[in-house]
Amino acid sequence: MGTTLDIKIKRANKVYHAGEMLSGVVVISGKDSVQHQGLSLMVEGTVNLQLSAKSVGVFEAFYNSVKYTLRCDMRRSLLAKDLTKTCEFIVHSTPQKGKWTPSPVDFTITPDTLQNVKERALLPKFLIRGHLNSTNCVITQPLTGELVVESSEAAIKSIELQLVRVETCGCAEGYARDATEIQNIQIADGDVCRGLSIPIYMVFPRLFTCPTLETTNFKVEFEVNIVVLLHPAHLITENFPLKLCRV
Amino acid sequence: MAAFPWHSRSRNYKAEFASCRLEAVPLEFGDYHPLKPITVTESKTKKVSRKGSTSSTSSSSSSSVVDPLSSVLDGTDPLSMFAASADPATLAAAMDNSRKKRDRDDNSIVGSDFEPWASKRGEILARYTTTEKLSINLFMGSEKGKAGNATSAMSEKVRTRLEELDDFEEGSQKELLNLTQQDYVNRIEELNQSLKDAWASDQKVKALKIVIQCSKLLSDTSVIQFYPSKFVLITDILDTFGKLVYERIFSMCVDHCSVLPDHFSPENVNDTAKETCLNWFFKIASIRELIPRFYVEASILKCNKFLSKTGISECLPRLTCMVRGIGDPLVSVYARAYLCRVGVEVAPHLKESLNKNFFDFLLTFKQIHGDTVQNQLVLQGVELPSYLPLYSPAMDWVFQCVSYHAPEALLTEMMERCKKLGNNALLLNSVMSAFRAEFIATRSMDFIGMIKECDESGFPKHLLFRSLGLNLALADPPESDRLQILSEAWKVITKLKNPQDYINCAEVWVEYTCKHFTKREVNTVLADVIKHMTPDRAFEDSYPQLQSIIKKVIAHFHDFSVLFSVEKFLPFLDMFQKESVRVEVCKCIMEVFIKHQQEPTKDPVILNALLHVCKTMHDSVNALTLEDEKRMLAYLINGFIKMVSFGRDFEQQLSFYVEARSMFCNLEPVLVQLIHSVNRLAMETRKVMKGNHSRKTAAFVRACVAYCFITIPSLVGIFTRLNLYLHSGQVALANQCLSQADAFFKAAISLVPEVPKMINIDGKMRPSESFLLEFLCNFFSTLLIVPDHPEHGVLFLVRELLNVIQDYTWEENSDEKIRIYTCVLHLLSAMSQETYLYHVDKVDSNDSLYGGDSKFLAENNKLCETVMAQILEHLKTLAKDEALKRQSSLGLSFFNSILAHGDLRNNRLNQLSVNLWHLAQRHGCVDTRAMVKTLEYIKKQSKQPDMGHLTELALRLPLQTRT
């Protein structure tokens, strides 16, 4: 092992907010004394825009392409290679001011509440009731609620929570909207007991969510779908827009 | 060297004995004596204890003796637990124990009376087996189709990212079909190993993947009979994982200088450890499927301790609710069992979640009879009565966790809730399995009523009665109900058609019957078992249960006369037709007999029965029987033989031994025991007759002697035979059977040449010489008092023995032969005394036969000379061989012999001893200290009367000084 370079950021979770000091140490470890011609530290913030494979002329997912890296370079003599070490860190937007208020939603799903059905008569009868404790969500807190299958003629295969990120990008020609599933959590597996409440619980994935963002040119929004799969092949989806914030 | 004549010193044994005897000092009460038993005196004030005394005068106020052995146990032993609760002083001592202390700090409510999961594990694995083919699918091929519709919106990149967690190894599909149960178990074990390997090689993500894939197998209910075992196997892996993660994070908290205490608080955990821990929880929270997400999170429940104080108490209720999402009732109840298992281990004080699991389970209980389950059963071809018992291990566990130390009110409530549900046999069974036995026992009649009301088609009734029986074996029902309980229960049990069901149930109830009732009821029960198990040789499939029944019966009937008067006991034994099992049962019976039979017996019922039992054991011995097994059997049979006594009816006793010999001829230790017993019988007879045999007793004693004489040759062990010949000869001599005694001794002499150089002792080959030397010395002591036969020459036995010793092929380079000759010299010296050292009562030894006849003494001396010549010859050869050390020590030993037995007033003998003294010192390899001691002894002896000549000898014995 020759000389190595390591960056150690003070905060274990590597999360910082605008205006904060990012501190830490650069650790150089080697067998004996190390000669160099300067050590430099550099912060880089990049937005990587990639053309979507699906729709021509649209960029794919903004969110995940924003990246902050800390880079440390050690310049050395001609004979020894320069050393580089990079370290990613995360910048959280400053917590929003103002009081967070919960906004509970009750829902009932029956064949009649469904839109977009071709042959309503062919659908088995069912009644699903439930509520979300709030569609205004604190990003660090899980999405919670309850769901009760009051009755269902067909056996239930699975009930899932689908978290979708919707990015809208507006420009002169109109706007492009791109929805991406970022997490899918099964909350019921198999033909669950009727009349028994099943918890709705989903932790927001740290790397794929951010506070809901709305600017003139683009928007990042989130939605959750409650997806019920019935035997033999029925798929019922109920959509709820969410508003994520950081407090 | 010329031949030296021998002159024995004449001895006055009485005077010698008196002079060297220690003075007897009477011991006063309370004085210290090493052999006095240790006494513990109970006193509040400290007694003045004797100085230097090791007898312990305990000053403790404790009323019980503190056994040093018990301090080794750490209080988990049920006996000491019992003792501890009875005795506050010991309790306090036990509490000092570090383990206890930790438990107490733990605020743990789970004590040693909580049956741990580990003890259930093996039972479940053994009980829930299958012959059907199993499969392991470690790739979610089919699952993908299911989620297919929903994934349309997913971008490729994100999808692969998410699925990484689901995949076991990138790009590898592992679907293993057609596995036998054993293959399956092996595969799971391999997965367990690869989990550990992955962890050890720092592949944490791979480890997590393995765990996820494994927990996924728990959502698969194909081959449903195997599900409980599958649960056991897979949760083992989860436990491993949970431990690995916890330990890893724990180790991150260790600073350079301090180690985290066992009971840390989250403030003491550093940020890196917290972040790592949080990472694990985030990763697990994003697992797509419900069942793996549940299991994996439950497995690392303990890690919540790193994050916050309330973490576990918040997490447990959430996980409990999460189980509601599991549709399949079987999968769901096992998930609850796992959660309770982890919960009890990590946070036993959080009773609420346990209770919630129980009541949630009751809410979903109706699902078991729902369409989805029924369809599945039809598809798999499984009947309800074999499906329902699959729930038992999980339900029993949940019920056990909830009912452990639960207040009576909760138990009653639980029971009432169970009662209300339809077809509650399954619940009833778990209530009986899990609740305190006392709770069940006091309500036995209620339970019997409830069991009767249960639906026939559902859960098998025999299992219910079995569970009830298990409780009654542990706790006693009210006295007034006892008989009614038995008759109600047995009414149902006896109607069971399937012999397996029947015997599983009957086995349990035998305990209750034996505990509370007399032999009449036990007899009835045994008769019923025989009746059920005999048709179609059903007993062949139920040996373990039948064995257990026998064990229970003999555990309660220690009085064998009562036991064998249970008419059906022996017919019951006849059901054990497979030899190995029969022998096992016989061994159990004999063990109990040996342990509990206090008095010798002659009860013909016991004797007949046990002879039969012993014969069965004996007859199982064949060429392939292991030595240990033979030893065990012989020990048991000997125990029986020793317990048989016909009192004063000696002839009956002898004929019993004759019968026993014919029965147990294949077990050498038994024959040896019989010979000893017969010898003892002869001596008993002598004692009764006070040494004066009548014609009748003389004939009887000769019969005993004859018994031994003809039995000994059938033994194999050469030293066994030799010693028994000698021993029996002594007995014959004591009983004035002179010619018989001669015959024994001659037989022994003629056997000596057959002694091999090496003999097998405990499986190792060892030289036999030391054993031979020991035997011969013993033999010589006896020969002293054996009178010469009038028709044979003087000392014919000694001569014959000397010839045999002469011809025996001794080990080269060994001095054993010479040592024996030295002993012969001692014998001959003793024989030349006017009155011998000891005698046998009523037998005239050579001293009185010859009365110091000069011819006899001359013969004796001639023999001595021959022997001495041999010794000296040997000493000479040692000089040649340069075996100087041996020569020196042998010379000194011969010197000592002459000193002790020879008459040193004889000049030549005197000269010889001086020569020997020099010889011993010549090459400087003698033990100088021994020489100094010897010289001191000579000087001391010289002061005795008639020993004055030793003073002069001492002057002629110089001590060589070491340079």
Residue B291: which pLDDT band, with cuts at 50, 70 and 90? very high
Is the per-residue pLDDT at B469 higher than 80? yes
Helix (H) or strand (E) holding B329: helix B329-346
Question: Distances from the Cα of B294 to the Cαs of B237, B309, B320, B349, B616, in angstroms?
Answer: 15, 21, 9, 22, 58
Provide the percentage of residues in chain B whose pLDDT is more than 90: 23
Q: Is A36 exposed, middle or buried (0-12, 13-18, 19+ CB in 10 A)?
A: middle
DSSP for B144-198, please give it: HHHHGGGGGGS-HHHHHHHHHHH-SSTT---EEEEE-HHHHHHHHHHHHHHHHHH
For residue A138, what are the contacts with CB-CB under 8 A and spacing of at least 6? A100, A244, A245, A246, A247
* Torsion of the alpha carbons at B795, B797, B800 and B804, rounded to the nearest 10: -130
The dihedral through the CA atoms of B654, B659, B662, B667 has a sign that is negative
Structure confidence at residue B825 (pLDDT): 92
In the prediction, which pLDDT does B775 show?
94
Question: What mean pLDDT comes out for the span B146-169?
Answer: 44
- The C-alpha atoms of residue B304 and residue B447 are separated, in whole angstroms, by 42
Per-residue pLDDT of B614-635, as tens digits, reads 999 999 988 888 888 999 999 9
| DSSP assignment letter at A164 | E
Alpha-carbon span B10 to B903, nearest angstrom: 8
> DSSP states of A183-234 as a string?
EEEEEEESSPPTT-EEEEEEPPPTTT----EE-SSEEEEEEEEEEEEETTTE
Other beta carbons within 10 angstroms of residue B725's beta carbon come to: 25
CA proximity to B336, closest of B370, B298, B283: B298
Res. B82: pLDDT tops 50: no
A124 touches chain B (CB under 8 A): no
Residue in B153, B364, B371 closest to A164 by CB: B153
Who wins on pLDDT, A233 or B638? B638
Q: What's the pLDDT at B801?
A: 93
Which position has the higher pLDDT, B85 or B912? B912
Q: Tell me, what amino acid is at A26? A: V
- Please list, residue by residue across B255-275, b when 16 or more beta carbons sit within 10 angstroms of its beta carbon and e when fewer do: eeeeebeeeeebeebeeebbe
Q: Long-range contacts made by residues B406-412, C-beta under 8 angstroms, separation at least 24?
A: B406/B351, B408/B439, B410/B355, B411/B435, B411/B436, B411/B439
Residues whose CB falls within 8 Å of the CB of residue B560, separated by 6 or more in sequence, listed in order: B593, B597, B601, B603, B606, B609, B610
pLDDT at res. B88: 43
* Residue-level pLDDT at B89: 41
Residue among B313, B392, B397, B391 at smallest CA distance from B358: B397
Residue B148's contacts (CB-CB under 8 Å, 6 or more residues apart) are none
DSSP state of B2: P
pLDDT of residue B632: 92
Cβ contact A218:A83 at 8 Å: no
Q: CA-CA distance, B46 to B60, in Å (whole number)?
A: 8
pLDDT over 60 at B49, yes or no: no
Q: pLDDT tens across B754-766, in order?
A: 999 888 887 788 8
**Strand ranges for B206-312 from DSSP E:** none
Give the integer Cα–Cα distance in Å for A209 and B824.
Answer: 106
**Phi, psi angle pair for B300, to nearest 5°:** -110, 25
A182 at the B interface (CB within 8 A)?
yes
Q: What is the pLDDT of residue B881?
A: 63
- Position B962 scores a pLDDT of 54
- Residue B149: per-residue pLDDT: 38
Residue partners of B168: CB distance under 8 A and separation at least 6: B138, B139, B174, B206, B209, B210, B213
**Of residues B663, B573, B658, the one with CA closest to residue B618:** B663
∠ CA B256-B260-B265, rounded to 5°:
135
Q: Name the band, by pLDDT with cuts 50, 70 and 90, for residue B645.
A: very high
Angle between helices B329-346 and B311-322 (to 10 degrees): 170
- Are B150 and A199 an interchain contact pair (Cβ–Cβ within 8 Å)? no
Q: Which of A169, A157, A150 is nearest to A217 (CA)?
A: A169
Residue B501 has pLDDT above 70, yes or no: yes
pLDDT at residue B3 is higher than 80? no
Of A181, A197, A206, Cβ closest to residue B153 = A181
Q: State whether B288 and A186 contact (CB < 8 Å).
A: yes
Contact A70, A86 (CB under 8 A): yes
Measure the CA–CA gap between A111 and A132, rounded to whole angstroms: 20
- Report yes or no: A151 at the B interface, CB cutoff 8 Å: no
Q: Does B372 touch chain A (CB under 8 A)?
A: yes
CA trace torsion B536, B537, B539, B541 (10° rounding): -80
Q: What is the pLDDT confidence band of residue B84, given thresholds at 50, 70 and 90? A: very low
Per-residue confidence (pLDDT) for residue A28, from 0 to 100: 86
**ipTM summary value:** 0.86
DSSP B644: B
Are the C-beta atoms of B905 and B894 separated by less than 8 Å?
no
Nearest CB to A206; choose among B282, B318, B326: B282
Inter-chain contact B146–A229, Cβ cutoff 8 Å? Answer: yes
Averaged pLDDT for residues B322-334: 90
Band the pLDDT of B814: cuts 50, 70, 90.
confident
The answer to whether the peptide bond before residue A232 is cis (omega within 30 degrees of 0) is: yes
How many CB atoms sit inside 10 A of residue B527's CB?
15
Residue B961: per-residue pLDDT:
65
Q: Which residues contact B142 (CB under 8 A, 6 or more apart)?
A: none
Contact at 8 Å (CB) between B781 and B823?
A: no
pLDDT (mean) for B300-318: 87
* Residue A67 bridge partners (DSSP): A46
* Burial call B392-419: b when 16+ CB within 10 Å, e when fewer: bbbbbbbbbbbbbebeeeebeebbebbe
Flag residues of chain A having pLDDT under 50.
Answer: none
Confidence grade of residue B313 (pLDDT, cut at 50, 70, 90): confident
**Amino acid at position B746, single letter:** K
Q: What is the DSSP letter of B756?
A: -
pLDDT for res B298: 92
Q: Which amino acid is at B73?
A: L
Q: B-chain residues within 8 Å CB-CB of A9?
A: none
**A83 Cβ under 8 Å from any chain B Cβ:** no
The pLDDT confidence band at residue B444, using thresholds 50, 70 and 90, is: confident
Tokens of B845: 């030894």
**Contacts with A190 from chain B: Cβ below 8 Å:** 326-328, 331, 372
Q: Which of B92-96, B171-175, B384-388, B786-790 has the largest mean confidence?
A: B786-790
Q: Write down the mean pLDDT value for chain B.
A: 81
- Asked whether the beta carbons of B541 and B499 are under 8 A apart, the reply is yes
The pLDDT value recorded for residue B635 is 94
CB-CB contact of B519 with B492 (8 Å): no
Q: Do B328 and A190 count as a contact with CB atoms less than 8 A apart?
A: yes
Is A116 in the B-facing interface, judged by CB distances under 8 Å?
no
Q: Which of B293, B331, B364 sits opposite A196 (nearest CB)?
A: B364
Q: Work out the pLDDT band at B677, boundaries 50, 70, 90.
A: very high
- Summarize pLDDT for B262-271 with one digit per residue, the tens: 677 787 788 8
Confidence of residue B535 (pLDDT cuts 50, 70, 90): confident
> Does the pLDDT at position B204 exceed 70?
yes
Task: Say whether pLDDT at B62 is over 60.
Answer: no
Mean pLDDT of B228-233: 89
pLDDT of residue B137: 67
User: Does the pLDDT value for residue B465 go beyond 70?
Assistant: yes
Interface of B with A in 109-168 (CB under 8 A): 146-147, 149-151, 153-156, 158, 162
State whether A208 and B158 contact (CB < 8 Å).
Answer: yes
Q: What is the pLDDT of residue B633?
A: 93
3-state secondary structure of B755: coil
Q: In angstroms, what separates the C-alpha of B330 from chain A's closest C-alpha?
A: 12
SS3 state at B24: coil
Q: CB of B212 within 8 A of CB of B287? A: yes
**Å from A59 to nearest chain B CA?**
13
Q: Evaluate if residue B935 carries a pLDDT over 60.
A: yes
Residue A199 in contact with partner chain B when CB distance is under 8 A = yes
- DSSP H/E element including B930: helix B928-941
pLDDT tops 60 at residue B424: yes
User: Closest by alpha carbon to B521, among B472, B566, B474?
Assistant: B566
The answer to whether the Cα torsion of B352, B356, B359, B362 is positive or negative is negative
Task: HSE, CB side, 13 Å, CA atoms: give it for residue B392.
Answer: 24
- Where residue B447 falls among pLDDT bands split at 50, 70, 90? confident
Give the other-Cβ count within 10 Å of A21's Cβ: 6
Residue with tokens 């009947």: B383
Interface of B with A in 257-286 (CB under 8 A): 270-272, 274-275, 278, 281-282, 285-286
Partner residue facing A199 (CB), from B282, B293, B321: B321
- The fraction of chain A above a pLDDT of 70, given in percent, is 91
Share of chain B above pLDDT 70, in %: 85
Name the pLDDT band for B260 (thresholds 50, 70, 90): low
Per residue in B364-417, pLDDT (tens digit) is 888 888 888 888 888 888 888 888 888 888 888 888 888 888 888 888 887 777
Model pTM above 0.80: no
Per-residue CA distances from B154 to A54, A61, A66, B537, B595 (Å)? 11, 11, 19, 66, 77
| pLDDT computed for residue B90 by the predictor | 40
